[in-house]
A and B are shown apart, each in its own frame.
Chain A
Amino acid sequence: MKKSPVSMTINGQPVEELVEPRTLLIHFLREQLNLTGAHIGCETSHCGACTIDLDGKSVKSCTIFTLQAEGAHIRTIEGMAAADGTLHALQEAFREKHGLQCGYCTPGMILRAWRLLQENPDPTDAEIRFGIAGNLCRCTGYQNIVAAIKHAAILMAGAQQKEAAE
């Protein structure tokens, strides 16, 4: 099938490429753009390892054709740390609280948690669990992921207060 042009903004960078219409967004990110942070866990829309942020919403990039994302603003795990390598508060908190073991689910968990904290900066444990219900983890048993997200919420609120004071 003839390739079609597609353009979008990924982690602040404009991207213009040609894709086959059947190219899934996760394959476009990983194979064409070499952004291999978002993972393919199931490819059946269940595990959430492929979660990215698309126009302000968490989505499973294995269940979207690239052409459906024409013009979109996308954020992936590659866009979380600062340019100088300083980890994002969520990444710091996942490390601090042992929110990962094998790390396979982590890019999706962090992107989902980031959007959750944008919408609800001070979530309860129950709200976190409901909010990450679309992200599976085979290792941690979720306890430490919930703890990491709570910790990140505190770090992020602190950073905001500091910014406001300055």
Chain B
Amino acid sequence: MISGSFAFYRPHTIAEAVAMLATHGDAARLVAGGHSLIPMMKLRMAMPDHLIDVGGIADLKGIKRDGSDWLIGALTTQAELIADQALAAGLPVLRETALQIADPQVRNCGTLGGNIANGDPGNDMPAVMLCLNARFEVTGPGGKRSIPARGFYHGAYVTSLAQDEIVTAVRIAALPPGSAAAYEKLKRKVGDYATAAAAVALGLQDGKINFCSIALTNLAPTPLWAEAAGQALIGRAPGAESFALAGRLAEEITDPSSDARGPAAYRTKMGGVMVRRALARAALAAKT
């Protein structure tokens, strides 16, 4: 399988890459790890005339703290997310999610920026970003802006990112004390996209849930932030009854397709199960 022809560029700065995108317009595409784009190019579902490889831009790399926020460069690979010890200690849900993505070789190439910018509802990181209320730091010809993840996804492969913009980093606020996050994914085998998956973050105070955020992967054309399901748990005691309620409310907003992963009704139900399991695990971690 051979892709269409294209001209290849390897800029070394963000500004150079943005200028190239601006020059070539819709005929240009960025490539980072290439593990979503190259398969699509082989199938000729993507046929850019100009391919701009951001792999050589040092400013897109690195995992840093900015105050209490985490600032993670767009080019950080899934393998680097897994290996980073500070991140594993401070925000372990990213490592946990990255470990659920594909296999070692794919994780060595696939980047966080590519995973969130791709817009495929099967990608796992977007739901985590909705759950944690992340912001995407973006640079375009007009300068920088910061886009909330909640509101970034409009349809399959349709996002708020303009054609000439680059995601440079992801900003995630540290979770408040007494809270924890978890990601639960049902898949048929290694390397499979989710049949259904849920990202949750939950906080406890005096034995009651004082904060809860829930998001879903691959249960609609976009990742979903299940705002009402999270809100419904505020003030309740953590436990099977609360988690089942959140699972039911989350199921209500899903709109999955029936495909090889199962009929829509099954995938919706599994969405509820993933929410329940993730909440139970997060509640346990929040307590300890």
Contact = CB atoms under 8 A, between A and B. Distances in A.
Interface of A: 1, 4, 20-22, 24, 27, 43-46, 48, 51, 57-60, 63-65, 67-68, 70, 112, 131-134
Contact of B103 (A22, A27, A48): A48
A68 to B, nearest CB: 6
B79 interface: yes
A112 B1 contact: no
Interface residues of B, number: 28
Contact of A59 (B6, B31, B108): B108
A70 B109 CA distance: 15
B34 A134 contact: no
Nearest to A63: B38
B49 to A, nearest CB: 10
Contacts of B8: 4, 21, 65, 67
Contacts of B51: 21, 65
B2 A112 contact: no
Interface in B178-196: 190-191
B105 A51 contact: yes
B207 interface: no
A68 B108 contact: no
Which of B8, B10, B42 lies at the interface centre, i.e. has the most chain A CB atoms within 10 A of its CB? B8
Interface of B: 1-8, 10, 31, 34-35, 38-39, 42, 51, 53, 55, 79, 102-106, 108-109, 190-191
Contacts of A48: 103, 105
A43 B108 CA distance: 18
Contacts of B104: 58, 112, 131-134
Contact of A112 (B6, B10, B105, B190): B105
Given A22-B3, A133-B104, A134-B104, A44 B39 contact: yes
Contacts of A24: 2, 38
Contact of B190 (A45, A51, A57, A134): A134
Nearest to A70: B10
